[in-house]
A = this chain, B = another copy of it.
Amino acid sequence: MTVLQPHHSNQFSVSLSDIQRARDRIRTFVRQTPVLDVVGLAGCSTQRLWLKCENLQHGSAFKARGACNAVMALSDVEAARGVVTHSSGNHAAALARAAIQRGIPAHIVMPLNSARVKLQAVRSLGIEPILCAPTSAARESMAAEVQQRTGATMIHPFNHPDVIAGQGTAALEILEQVPDVDTIVVPVGGGGLLAGTLLAVKTLRPEICVIGAEPEWADDAFRSLQSGRIEPALRTDSIADGLRTPLGTLTFPVIQALVDKVLCASEEHIIRATGEVAAVCRLIAEPSGVVPVAVMLQHPQIFAGRNVVALISGGNLDDPTLITRHLTVA
């Protein structure tokens, strides 16, 4: 287990007190999501397993936490000029929603090939996404152009201190809801959720093991820990569309210093986990959201006998047949 020494907390851009302040700031705008104990998940080796249901968060994703914290932390002058981001995923709708809650404009740049359910989520809030080509360069240049034109504040999906602090609030809830937890598993894409979780947990309960979970087809965090630098994505076709992103310059140092382990899951295990969570728990979760369950099914020896909380990060499923196949009884 990695233990965060007191002096560590100063080396990162976010501290426990930032996360605690975030919790107070967003309390009336996001849900304290429930934790469900799971019984009867086939192939699960844990002593006990709980799901932290961020798929039941507003907007069906934990992203409400970071986006809301970043928007509510703006000064009135900054806020009046609006916010801008680029995102193919749940951060897009989360930022749009937070901006509406504050009554300010939101400019949401999204790649053309974003999941339909995630484009629709932004549109259903009354905001038309600004579409761009599906490359990092196109996303960034389009967002920069909007920022220059409007004076809006850029709220990056994960490489932003207030976003990281906001994502860490889920971990504060876990520690209160499941005092007996000894292992916490969260998905890792850009690393905002994992970094926020680590900063909270390794300060308050350093003996708890924190594991990042990512697809084998998007194993950049695993490779980055091996090489000691931020590795790019090698492919962009994992079914876990929310986790295809490389780590950020703010998230990688936290993960490198504090994470106990990053585990990878095959596409097959991710698909199976999506179905099992629906069939056993009656929860609609998206593939990215169940990768923590997928790594538990794929690496049972690591979780044997443990008391595990798996954070289910989102419920915006683009292909409902992933769950109906498991719900259909022959």
Q: Which A residues contact B (CB, under 8 angstroms)?
A: 31, 34, 36-37, 39, 53, 55-56, 58, 60, 116-117, 119-120, 278, 281-285, 315, 317-318, 320-321, 323-324, 327-330
Separation of A285 and B117 alpha carbons in the complex (Å): 20
Judged by DSSP, the binding face of A is mixed
Q: How far is the CA of A329 from the CA of B281 in the complex (A)?
A: 24
Please name all residues of chain B whose beta carbon is closer than 8 Å to the beta carbon of A116 when the two chains form the complex. 329-330
Q: List 14 A-B contacts (CB under 8 A).
A: A31-B36, A31-B37, A34-B36, A36-B56, A56-B283, A116-B330, A117-B327, A278-B284, A318-B329, A320-B323, A320-B324, A320-B328, A321-B324, A323-B324
Contacting residues, chain B, for A282 (C-beta < 8 A): 55-56, 60, 283-285, 315
- CA–CA, A117 to B327, complex, Å? 8
Residues of B contacting A324 with CB < 8 Å? 320-321, 323-324
> In whole angstroms, how far apart are the Cα atoms of A285 and B283 in the complex?
9
Interface centre among A39, A282, A329 (most CB of B within 10 A): A282
Closest CB of chain B to A51's CB: distance in Å? 10
Residues of chain B contacted by A119 (CB below 8 angstroms): 329
B residues less than 8 Å from A60 (CB atoms): 282
Q: CA A166 – CA B235 in complex, angstroms?
A: 53
**Closest chain B CB from A48 CB (angstroms):** 13
Q: How far is the CB of A60 from chain B (nearest CB, A)?
A: 5
Could you say which of B31, B283, B327 contacts A320, with CB atoms under 8 Å apart?
B327
The distance from the CB of A179 to the nearest CB of chain B, in whole angstroms, is: 16
